[in-house]
Amino acid sequence: MSGAPSGALLVRVAALAVVVVFFQIGVVSEVPVFGVNADISPLLVAFVGLLCGSMLGAAGGFAVGLLVDLTLLQTLGLTSLVFTLIGYSCGRLRELRDPQAALTPLLVGASASAVSLVGYSLMEFMLGVDAPVSFELLRQIVLGVVVNTIVALPMWAIVRRSLEGALPEDPRRRRRRRAYTTGGLSPLSRS
């Protein structure tokens, strides 16, 4: 993304982040599927990064992670760090590869969920939080990734629809359109 994001985009991302985090805490966390709860917060961060670029993805990841930590009274900053990495990585994927495949939301959602669950577990372990490391933790991580992958497509549609009018324009698309409308000739070459 070249330049600063528009004000409308920032307002939409902030409103979407607040709604998703409180919906996650109030509704989604109360409905277990296969013995685990879906976690839509890393999906939001990944899809904001995929749609808006690395800088807004990292900033959004930090903000969403901080909001999650504050509302759940967790260790402050752990979720922010993990979500910042997810948002930045997904934004760089957009900037370097610009993936257009139909399976992109599923793959990005699965990888963001895996990074979120494994990263948070490793950080809690390194900080010395007394949590049992066993096959139950591995089962929770695997089932969490599967459930979040199923939820990734509806979440992708929600995030894309919510940000659709304010998304930054692709510079390659702008170049192609400009060349088409001017006929590919420079105004200086006309005589």
pLDDT tens digits for 33-44? 888 999 999 999
Q: Which domains does the chain have, with CATH numbers?
A: 7-190 (1.10.1760.20)
- Residue 128, pLDDT > 90, answer no
Mean per-residue pLDDT of the chain: 85
Count CB atoms within 10 A of the CB of residue 81.
Answer: 16
Least confident window among 31-35, 83-87, 140-144: 31-35
Burial of 116 (0-12, 13-18, 19+ CB in 10 A): buried
**Whole-angstrom Cα distance, residue 109 to residue 70?**
24
Provide the pLDDT for residue 125. 85
